[in-house]
A and B are shown apart, each in its own frame.
Chain A
Amino acid sequence: MPGLMAGISRTADTSPDLNLVRRSQQGDTRTFGELVRRHQDRVYNLALRMTADRDLAADVTQDAFLRAFRSLPKLRQPERFGSWLLKIVSNLSLDALAARSTVSLDALMEEGDEFLPVSGSDPADQIEGILSDEAVAAALKRVQPVYRQVLVLRHIEDLPYEQIAEILDIPLGTVKTRLFRGREQLRQFLTEGGITP
């Protein structure tokens, strides 16, 4: 499965985390600072891919860690800290997008009912040529946030369906549906962006 990303440890190294989380739950800010440093790259990257704005992503990252610290005493499964943190970041990213635009959070979360039309048999609407980071990031930015969320968690964070369902608090079937629609939108926007022969 593709998805290896340099510089980010995707495998949950929970035991050192667990100690840090438990000490942080006692209100130890210095320990929490260590925990933040362990997760800051991953959290910032997720916020950046969700918001497509570096300043906004930095704000979301800071806010996510502050909220996490305040809510830590209520975290009953310290070993799930990583997923719990991603859930906070993911939700805050959507909030930030809603606050910045005139569109409400409900509208951002709304799933399009229309089924994207299947491209015809014309091979010209398929993606060819070089897929640059810029082109992919630009197309991803245009995908509806509710679908962008699952695309980022699945393909950039390389998380399995089950963990995505847990983070977003949605059924597995919904994860699959959103992934399909997100991929369709991404493909459509890449094609519109001229990634064709």
Chain B
Amino acid sequence: MRCANVREFLSQSLDGPIEPPDEAAVETHILACESCRLYRKTLRRMTGALATLEHAPAPLDFGAMVTFQLRRERVQRRWAPPAAVAAALVAGMVLAWPTWRDSGQGASAGLASAAAGLSADQETAAFMHWMDPAADGGSGLGVQQAAFDTYSAAGPGGQLSQLPAGPVSPLQFAPMAAMQPQPVTVQLGPAAFPTFFGGPLAPVQPLATPLR
């Protein structure tokens, strides 16, 4: 048996016994071949060293981080359909806005805008921004972001508000590793369309149903 074949068998022998006929041939070869004897010793030392490599524990609480990320995604998914419906409503309102304002029926809304110190154009721009911040260079999360901001602002120490809009990287999450995510509560109703419904401009308020 040649050295090359013997070494393949020696490699396999680290994981289990060699079959009898081959085992005898390998042993016979090794008795006469110093190089292969050293090879076997080397293999054993090397794989032993691999097996005892120092174990590196996880540097972060990935459980908390992954749970946090999954919940955030869930909030985003949950708000996507209502946001689409709301966006369609807004599109309709915006299209009808000039006719409505010119007809004088927009007087009450105009009064609300004036009370808030906004011109009609500013109000429309602010409302559009609120509905879709991405449209004018915002964070890209739209209504979900507003909801999440509410949650963030209420987070321990307000640190969560430092989060970027995209996925949280392990390094960004590290300083917050000890924090536990809180239930997210949001509402989408008249308060979400303040001046269009004649109400005061107000932030999205936490409400009843916690999102898991």
The B1-56 residues at the A interface (CB cut-off 8 A) are 3-4, 7-8, 11-12, 14-15, 33-35, 38-39, 41-43, 45-56
Bound complex: CA A179 to CA B46 (Å) = 13
Q: CB within 8 Å of B: which of A177-197?
A: 179-180, 183-184, 186-187, 190
Which secondary structure characterizes the binding site on chain B?
helix
Taking CB atoms, residues of chain A closer than 8 Å to B33 are 121
Interface assignment of A23: CB less than 8 Å from any CB of chain B: no
Q: Does A95 contact B (CB under 8 A)?
A: no
Collect the chain B residues with CB atoms within 8 Å of residue A30's CB. Answer: 67, 212
Q: At the interface with chain B, which of A79-87, A99-107, A132-140? A: A132-140
User: Given the complex, which residues of B lie within 8 Å of A187, measured CB to CB?
Assistant: 42-43, 46
Q: Which of B7, B12, B33, B49 has the most CB of A within 10 A?
A: B49
* Shortest Cβ distance from B35 into A: residue: A121
Given contacts A180-B11, A180-B12, A118 and B4 within 8 Å (CB-CB): yes
Interface size on A, residues (CB 8 A): 61
**Measured between alpha carbons, how far is A96 from B69 in the docked complex, in Å?**
20
- Known contacts A2-B52, A7-B57, A40-B63; A62/B170 CB under 8 A: yes
Rounded to whole angstroms, the CA-CA distance of A196 and B185 in the bound complex is 64
* Contact A58/B170 with A123-B38, A133-B53 known, Cβ cut-off 8 Å: yes
Interface residue? B66 (CB, 8 A): yes
A33 interface neighbour in B7, B46, B66, Cβ under 8 Å: B66
Contact with A along B162-196 (1 / 0, CB 8 A): 00000001110000000000000000000000000
**What are 11 residue pairs bridging A and B, where the CB atoms are less than 8 Å apart in the complex?**
A28-B212, A32-B70, A33-B63, A43-B62, A55-B170, A58-B171, A66-B66, A121-B33, A126-B38, A160-B15, A186-B50
With A40-B58, A43-B58 known, 5 other A-B pairs at CB within 8 A are: A41-B55, A45-B56, A161-B15, A183-B43, A187-B46
Q: Which 8 A-B pairs have CB atoms at the shortest separation, nearest pair first?
A: A37-B63, A33-B67, A58-B170, A131-B49, A3-B51, A155-B50, A121-B35, A33-B63
